[in-house]
Amino acid sequence: MKAYYFDNVEGDQRLPHFDSALPPVSQSDLAKYGVLYWHIPIDQDGNWEQAIDQIAAERSYKNRDIINVSKTGLGDLYESKIKSFFEEHMHEDEEIRYILDGAGFFDVRSPQKDEWIRVHVDQGDLLVLPAGIYHRFTLDEGDYIKAMRLFKDEPKWTPYNRSADTDANQHRVTYLQTFAA
């Protein structure tokens, strides 16, 4: 995992958009915004599965599925899905992703300065975004990611695109009360 401030330069969203003049973002900086991270290498012995099961039990994740985001995996829906994933949105639940293969970028909004922080994730990275945080996702130049999604309840993925209504959503308000101080 590598995290840094997004450079906001126009261009392909799949490019790194890294500017070395901007300060780096550490794992502890991300935690101040409620973003949690673990690196759990995938091994042949299945130790990674035990580690995921342990975190799932500790955090009350009861369900999981696998998503394959690629041209092959999504077929005719690929372009529309990639576009919708990159729309700034929030969820009323945590977004939990364990990367099994491939790589991509999660961009999260810092609540204090309203700036994008780009988080590059690849195989073995587990990222948890808190309910109410504005974020977006895109693949990197590899155009492929296979991820395990974990859920506290029944699997669902309901995005609420950023708007005045979403700003007033109770999950967003609670997020700001908790992490924008």
Structure tokens at 44: 């042949």
The annotation status of 91 as a binding-site residue, yes or no, is yes
Structural contact between residues 104 and 145, judged by C-beta atoms closer than 8 angstroms:
yes
Is 141 labeled as ligand-binding? no
The CA distance from 91 to 158, in Å, is 6
What does the alpha-carbon distance between residue 132 and residue 157 come to, in Å, rounded to a whole number? 13
For 4-62, give the secondary structure using H, E and C.
EEECCCCCCCCCCCECCCCCEECHHHHHHCCCEEEECCCCCCCHHHHHHHHHHHHCCCC
Take residue 165 and report the two structure tokens written for it.
Answer: 């209504």
Consult the annotation and say whether 135 binds a ligand. yes
Q: Is 94 within any annotated ligand binding site?
A: no
Q: Write out the binding residues for Ni(2+).
A: 89, 91, 95, 135
Q: Write out the binding residues.
A: 89, 91, 95, 135
Q: Write out the binding residues for Fe(2+).
A: 89, 91, 95, 135
